[in-house]
């Protein structure tokens, strides 16, 4: 066990270095949500009610970008460049490799959520999150859910050149529908139903309860149930469909 933890820690450190040495990954998976937060804050300046919605919405977007989007890109890149195949041929245990990858995603999410909380407190006029337990629960469940879906979705992408098209075809519509339903009570009922069935809006709802209203986990059990179902689906197919080999010659 100590040896496995040491190998996981070394893989995690490698993942951190690789992340910061890739400017495009650091921008699109880390800085982009913060740019949305800054732009939205500038537009909604003085409208506290809308800012109370913006901050947890960007928090949910941050969770998705640092897990689903990042892992979809990274898994396909490493697979198609033959890196995963070479890793598979080393003595590094599979659990240690995935432990390092998962810890890297958790670190990015934690940093993002921390920045969003600080921005909400010192820039946008929110108080400190009234329910830290609910915040932890929804961030943790959201990470597991969206990370597993990211790995699952990577199985469907045939090559790295098409990754952006595949990922954006999912990320952007989910983002638009979830933001629209979360921000607008006047959105059509079918839009609310679609958004409630997707994994992003439940994360936003939970973060809103934790960071703004302090309504408690019991008020968002339906959101947790949706995330739990998506997480179960993602975990099963992430494991069953995972391939260390390139999909093309």
Structurally, how many domains does the chain consist of?
Answer: 1
Q: Is residue 8 part of a domain?
A: yes
Token couple for 220: 């968002």
Residue 142 lies in a domain: yes
Residue at 108 is within a domain? yes
Q: Per residue in 216-225, pLDDT tens?
A: 899 999 999 9
* Domain-located, residue 246: no
Contact 102, 147 (CB under 8 A): yes
89 falls within a domain: yes
Q: What is the pLDDT of residues 94-146, one digit of tens each?
A: 899 999 999 999 999 999 999 999 999 999 989 999 999 999 999 999 999 99
Q: Tell me whether residue 249 is in a domain.
A: no
Is pTM beyond 0.85 here? yes
Structural domain for 17, as ranges: 2-240
Distance CA 7, CA 33 (A): 32
pLDDT tens-digit profile of 152-168?
999 999 998 999 899 99
- Name the band, by pLDDT with cuts 50, 70 and 90, for residue 249: very low
pLDDT at 248 over 70: no
Contact 9, 92 (CB under 8 A): no
């Amino acid at each position: 066990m100590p040896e496995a933890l040491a190998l996981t820690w070394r893989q995690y450190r490698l993942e951190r270095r690789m992340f910061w040495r890739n400017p495009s990954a650091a921008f699109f998976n880390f800085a982009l949500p913060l740019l949305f937060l800054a732009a939205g804050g500038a537009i909604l300046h003085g409208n506290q009610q809308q800012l109370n919605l913006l901050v947890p919405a960007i928090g949910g977007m941050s969770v998705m970008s640092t897990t689903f989007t990042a892992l979809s890109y990274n898994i396909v890149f490493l697979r198609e460049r033959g890196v995963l195949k070479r890793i598979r041929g080393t003595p590094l245990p599979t659990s240690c490799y995935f432990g390092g990858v998962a810890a890297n995603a958790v670190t990015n999410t934690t940093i993002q959520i921390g920045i969003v909380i600080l921005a909400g407190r010192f820039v946008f006029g929110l108080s400190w999150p009234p329910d830290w337990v609910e915040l932890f629960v929804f961030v943790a469940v959201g990470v597991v859910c969206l990370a597993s879906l990211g790995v699952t979705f990577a199985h469907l992408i045939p090559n790295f050149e098409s990754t952006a098209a595949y990922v954006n075809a999912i990320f952007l519509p989910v983002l638009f529908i979830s933001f629209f339903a979360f921000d607008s009570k006047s959105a059509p009922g079918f839009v609310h139903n679609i958004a409630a069935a997707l994994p992003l809006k439940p994360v936003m709802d939970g973060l809103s309860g934790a960071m703004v209203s302090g309504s408690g986990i019991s008020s968002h059990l339906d959101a947790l149930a949706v995330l739990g179902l998506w997480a179960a689906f993602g975990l099963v197919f992430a494991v069953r469909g995972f391939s260390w080999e390139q999909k093309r010659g």
